[in-house]
Structure 1
Amino acid sequence: MLKLGKIISITILLSWVSVVEANERGTVTNLPIPRFVSMKVSEGFVRRGPSKLHRIDWVYKHRNTPLMVTGEYEHWRRVQDVDGQGGWMHFRLLSGTRTVVFKSEKSPVKRRNYEGADTVFFAEKGVIGNLDECNPNWCKVYVNKKKGWVLKSHIWGVFENELRN
């Protein structure tokens, strides 16, 4: 009986830890951490730490590049890109507009959200699109005035369990 009590206690504790992790909020914005944002500008410095005194590690050169915010400190956001590279960027360089980047070599973008649907176009690795709606497996995206549905597994910039209407 004591063993059953320990199992129940551990299960409750682990459930609580999972809820805490899923509901983490930024200390500055009170927005979810992690969350996806995009580059508002066509050039943005990524710094080693959260101030202009910190060294610039590299420069993002594409407007609308999707980034994941993993931390906040005053006016700075710790971000990570599709390749897992990260650093600190000033919040004014970022937008809440949701975008995605295609991560497969040649991703079919479909007219409807099922495998047998007609292919509207193919998107190559690195192409950036605007994110519209998502169901459990598919997301509707807009790329250069073309729209269609793509499997979530072909894009980065949306969470696996994320639903959007």
Structure 2
Amino acid sequence: MPLLAMFRKFVPIAVLAALAAAALPAMAPSPAGAQQVERGPSGLPLPRFVSLKAGRVNMRVGPGTDYAVEWLYLREGLPMEVIQEYDSWRRVRDAEGAEGWIHSALLSGRRTGLVAPWLKDRQASVPLHARPDEGARRIAEVEPGALGQVESCDGTWCRMRFASLEGWMSQSLIWGVYPGETVED
């Protein structure tokens, strides 16, 4: 085979091999424990938790005021999970799984949480502890579905505020924070 024909045959392969080798660092797995965070057009992570900024908020079936109102929320501070962004609209999910669109001006970055809403119909209560420890003194028993302010979380425990009471609650019992998520004061 003439040298020029061999060159034409192997150059594309060599170029592809060089491009693939250059791309390897970008495609390498992230360090152990690190996770890739998806970001929406706003630059903020998706999904993420936010709360309602107002005491009267419409959830619509689409991203715009021309879309029908599916739900009307009447509780300021209610946590919502942002799962998608479109322009100034956020597709959200509530604690019961209802999804729809809310204008970003009606959402706040303030972190709140509902205490074990999945236990709401049962006769149960959730302990609020003095320290982040199952054996710590119980400050109060909190009803499932109670709304509290998330002060901080360490991945296992969250410091919560309910009116004038502040204490620690197992993070697994709060809808409004992700398992293992840390939240800074």
Fold equivalence (TM over 0.5): yes
Aligned CA distance change for structure 1 residues 92 and 102 (closer, same or farther; 3 Å):
same
Identity %: 36
Query: What residue in structure 1 maps to residue 5 of structure 2?
Result: none
Matched, 1:116 2:135: yes
Structure 1 spans left out of the alignment, 5+ residues: 1-12
- How far apart are residue 15 of structure 1 and its match? 4.8
The CA RMSD over aligned residues, in Å, is 2.1
Query: What residue in structure 1 maps to residue 61 of structure 2?
Result: 48
Aligned CA distance change for structure 1 residues 158 and 14 (closer, same or farther; 3 Å):
farther
Query: What residue in structure 2 maps to residue 102 of structure 1?
Result: 115
Task: After superposition, give the CA deviation of every residue in 1:51-77 in whole Å (9 maximum; x if it has no partner).
Answer: 011111111110000001001111100
Distance (Å, rounded) in 2 between the aligned partners of 1:86 and 1:35: 14
Moved beyond 3 Å, runs of 4+: 13-16
Question: Which amino acid in 2 is paired with 1:119?
Answer: R
Distance (Å, rounded) in 2 between the aligned partners of 1:161 and 1:97: 19
Aligned CA distance change for structure 1 residues 14 and 65 (closer, same or farther; 3 Å):
farther
Matches within 5 A, 1:10-29: 15=29, 22-27=36-41, 29=42
SS at match of 1:63: coil
Matched, 1:69 2:79: no
Distance (Å, rounded) in 2 between the aligned partners of 1:120 and 1:138: 15
* TM score, norm. by length of structure 2: 0.76
Matched, 1:57 2:76: no
SS at match of 2:38: coil
Q: Which has the larger radius of gyration?
A: 2
Distance (Å, rounded) in 2 between the aligned partners of 1:33 and 1:163: 16
Query: What residue in structure 2 maps to residue 39 of structure 1?
Result: 52
Aligned CA distance change for structure 1 residues 14 and 129 (closer, same or farther; 3 Å):
farther
* TM score, norm. by length of structure 1: 0.85
